[in-house]
Structure 1
Amino acid sequence: MPLENTTKSDLLLVLVTLLAALGWILSREAVSVMPPLLFMSVRFILASAILGFFARRQLPVLGVAALARSLRVGAVFGIAMSLWVVGLKQSTHVGEAAFIASLGVIMVPLIARVFFSEAIPLYTWLAMPFAVTGLGFLSLSHGLRLESAQLLLLASAAIFALYFNLNTRAANSQFSTLDNGETHETQRVPVLALTTVVLGCVGVITGMLSLLLEPWAPTLREASPIIAFWIVASALISTALRFLVQTYAQSMTRHSNGVVIMVLEPVWVAIIAVFWFSESMTDSQLIGCALIFLSLLVNRLKVLAGLFSRKAR
């Protein structure tokens, strides 16, 4: 029996979380042999070029207003990714870093309240104590203080939350296009074109920061096939392929299962890191990560309740 679209979408989104988790591993390998911002620049420009091929019919119809909105989203995402990759470079534990970065999900409604005057859902308030306590347990591993890597990842999570709010509004914005002075029917910004522009903007911003802050000479002198492999694999697998699969999966159903499935990303990162880097967690790290994961689930209680009620019917 063929799978229903909702089931197919859910399975594809599980694959998306695996691709995203693999991106952490590939990125960590890459930044161990080259400047982190330079790596991000090459990765995102390459991924944008790949997605641009698939969006080649959508990109030419982007109007000035839609392009400006997309560039603004890309600029915020570029700052978030810059902080993220430097935090990853400095981090001593990839699994822990993934759970800290996942707190951006909890911050989305908080940022929406600050910048867009939206009400904060009850479930976010319920999730916050678990998230804060989880961070507290993670700080115990470093003498009751957060290390610079953790602070960078936390800052990137906050800016990622702003990016998510702006990206959602850009994807759902409608713009009129003008042709010979005539106004055409208003259409939404094509998601694939939006993603292509945003990723390209990230590549440019991280490239400019790298040019200002990082030495390129050692990397250029010591360039090797392994560096090229980490860059290409990260751009193809965890960036371009991930966004293509995610866009396709989300187009198959209107159900909101995806927001629950995406909490699996830090779990996959921690599991893969155990085998890839032979990482292990202290008791305080395990408790901290578990509490953060619980906060992600609590933040999605409404969606979880809806899923269970649908299955019960």
Structure 2
Amino acid sequence: MTALETTGLTKYYGETRGIEDLSLAVTEGEVFGYLGPNGAGKTTTIRTLLGFIAPTGGDATVLGYDVRDERALIEAKRHLGYLPSDPGFDEDATGTEFLDYQASLKGDDRREELLELFDAPVERKIEEFSRGNKQKLAIVSAFMHDPDLVIMDEPTSGLDPLMQERFYDFLDDEQERGVTIFFSSHVLSEVRKVCDRVGIIRDGKLVTTEDVETLLDRSGKRVRMRTSDPIDREDFDIDGVHDLTLDGAVQFTFTGEYDTLLDHLSRYHIVDVDIEEAPLDEVFMRFYGDEIAGSEREDGETTDVADDVPVSDGGESHV
């Protein structure tokens, strides 16, 4: 069964492309990572799936409900959780008052369990919360009604490293319970930790959709070796060698046949060799290269196009 599906989904803000011709499917019980730097179209995709903004073209369903059908989407949201990257709260309310209100809208099957796990100080006013405590409150809100599908936008934003690990373990447990997770991220390490598959989006278009292990295998191995023989750059002019450096040791990424690599290495007297998976950063850069730097603002921050363009369809990023 498919929990989330898009076919040719497109959203333009005037002449500015948010997403274009986006087609993907997420199966029930899957943890799907939606990967790309800020500005790629991740938030636009999520806002469109949730009905916060209307698509320009194409189709999308969430739990089998058409996102263009307002009545159907209301029914879908009874079984849907949402965790925005920057949750919006009534700052004058206490955490308990906020959760009481959410419970009146969608149910309250797991509040106490989740508060024990994530320890948000719900007795205090939200205006007194740290960024991390606001994120923990948003997590509780997203899962408290025991949804079948949870859509998350940069879900670990504001969480300290220990709480991030707790959240990853929690997602593993949720998947075992059959919950489907769709989340956007530009934090590469968390994709490897929790995802079954990943979709990479670039300039509003889906570049590839693959399981994480296949993506890493296709991106090759990182090789570092030292030999007792002098090495020239021409010595490693073979298919599959990328990013070769000679700095006391020979280092490169290899994407060719491993038998070919081992046969070539056997020609040298090797003092030390280390072969490991290419870092996920390098995998990501194969799809983006220097364009990531070009997407940054002059002040060093990055943004999704949806955050820069006024949303006239009434969309908000509130929990």
Structure of larger gyration radius: 2
Larger RCO: Structure 1 or Structure 2 (Cα < 8 Å, ≥ 6 residues apart)? 1
| TM-score, shorter chain, exceeding 0.5 | no
Structure richer in strand, relative to its length? 2
More helix by share: 1
Normalised by the length of structure 1, the TM-score is: 0.22
TM-score under structure 2 normalisation?
A: 0.22
